[in-house]
Amino acid sequence: MLKLSFFLFILGFFLTLITVFFSPSIFRDTGEGVQKFHQRAIPRVGGLAIYLSIFLILFFYASFLSQEVWFFLGASFPLFLAGLLEDITQRISPLLRLLAAFFSAALAFFWLKARLTSVDIFFLDPVLARPWVSFIFTCFAIAGVSQAFNIIDGLHGLSSGVAMLVLGAYLFLSKTLQDLLVFKLSLLILVPTLAFFLWNFPWGRITLGDSGAYFLGYAVATLGVLLVARNPEVSPWFPLLTVIYPVWETVFSIYRRGIKGRSPTSPDVFHLHSLLYRRVLNRHAYCSLFLWSIELVIVIWGLAFWSNTLWLALGVLVFILFYTWLYARIVRFRLPKVFKVD
């Protein structure tokens, strides 16, 4: 595993380097759009470097890796492709990308048996035990988290940093549970993401793009489902807690856009990370570090209580209350001084 990780990191690092310095103009983002913060044209196809790194390493270690790893990569391809086409053309509608996410989730459901059949809520579990309900719920969960990671991909290193923290938690727990498949997949995604991250943070020489954000969100969601499906002792609230920040950001964004009569898919500058950047910290690095620290607390809480649904659900509730309180303080320009950086 150490040798594979080393070569995967080197491969990911140099593929990202090539993308940064030699990508054609169609791969570059001009920074136009209300939700954009960068001032120069930079490549927005960091996801391509991550995906190609994993794909190429499978050829070198084909005999070592299992068939399920190929199934995972194949299942993620429709969503990755939809994101990549959007990165290049910026003409793929949100509906088509959402449908691609549902299709990739359906492939994971059948090919990998990534299925949610319980949420540890007594009146919902009998319903989820029905295969067609489980199918719809699982697809909705995986597709939703995929979209959520794209929502928070607005600052240098934010989405990829959150993904790495979650993947690190899955890596640790799968090692503890001796779940080799989840362990391999977590490692295969974490390492090239780290290689990309070194080019993305703090100077923003490249961004994930839709392809990268969707792929990482999809990977995190699918691995979370697999961890629960393959290890019944893991509470289904564990993967939910680890991704509660991007998930609640998405749910809250849909709510605030809805009450203003706007489309849920319309971009704006009122995400938590956007407000932190524009009203409080004014630097990508500070904002990302602050939000990573919150995610780190979440991950530690999750690992401490990975089998205890009550404590995990409490963690979800605490985060939602904290997020809502912090958001309201920023909107009203009443942020506590402890959060300010001179």
Annotate 12-24 with three-state secondary structure.
HHHHHHHHHHHCC
Residue 194, CA atoms < 13 Å, CB-side half-sphere = 17
Query: How far is residue 196's CA from residue 205's CA, in Å, rounded to a whole number?
Result: 10
Going from the C-alpha of 186 to that of each of 211, 220, 293, the distances in angstroms are 18, 8, 21
From the list 59, 75, 46, the residue with the least C-alpha distance to 7 is 59
Q: Which two tokens stand for residue 153?
A: 């991909």
Q: From the CB of residue 259, how many other CB atoms can be counted at a distance below 10 Å?
A: 8
Residues 6+ apart with CB under 8 A from 246: 145, 148, 149, 151, 152, 159, 162, 217
Cα 135–chain centre separation: 21
Q: Of the candidates 27, 22, 18, 21, which has an alpha carbon nearest to the alpha carbon of residue 89? A: 27
Residues 6+ apart with CB under 8 A from 210: 44, 47, 82, 83, 84, 86, 87, 97, 150
Strand, helix or coil at 265? coil
Dihedral class, residue 282 (left if φ above 0, else alpha if ψ from -120 to 50, else beta)? left
pLDDT given for residue 65 in this prediction: 78
- Segment 88-94 long-range contacts (CB within 8 Å, at least 24 positions apart): 88/26, 88/27, 88/45, 94/265
Element housing 82 (H / E): helix 67-89
d(CA 101, CA 117): 20
**Helix (H) or strand (E) segment spanning residue 88:** helix 67-89
**Predicted local confidence at residue 39, as pLDDT:** 54
Cα gap 31→22, rounded to integer Å: 19
List Cβ<8 Å contacts ≥24 apart for 93-102.
Answer: 94/265, 97/210, 97/214, 98/143, 98/147, 101/142, 101/143, 101/146, 101/147, 101/214, 101/218, 102/139, 102/140, 102/143
Q: Helix 209-230 crosses helix 46-60 at what angle (to 10 degrees)? A: 50
Q: What is the DSSP letter of 28?
A: E
The tens-digit pLDDT sequence of the chain (342 residues) is: 788 999 999 999 999 999 999 877 767 765 555 455 555 678 999 999 999 999 999 888 877 678 899 999 999 999 999 999 999 998 999 999 999 999 999 999 999 999 999 999 999 999 999 999 999 999 999 999 999 999 999 899 999 999 999 999 999 999 999 999 999 999 999 999 999 999 999 888 999 999 999 999 999 999 999 999 999 999 999 999 999 999 999 999 999 888 888 888 788 888 888 888 887 777 778 889 999 999 999 999 999 999 999 999 999 999 999 999 999 989 887 776 655 544
Give the per-residue pLDDT at 332. 84
Rounded to 5 degrees, φ, ψ at 306 are: -60, -20
Instruction: Judge whether 96 and 82 are in contact, CB under 8 Å.
Output: yes
Residue 6: CB partners within 8 Å, gap ≥ 6?
Answer: none
Per-residue model confidence (pLDDT) at position 29: 67
Q: How far apart are CA 315 and CA 331, in angstroms?
A: 24
Report how far residue 328's alpha carbon sits from residue 76's, in angstroms, rounded to the nearest whole number: 36
Residues in the chain: 342
Give the predicted TM-score (pTM) of the model.
0.93
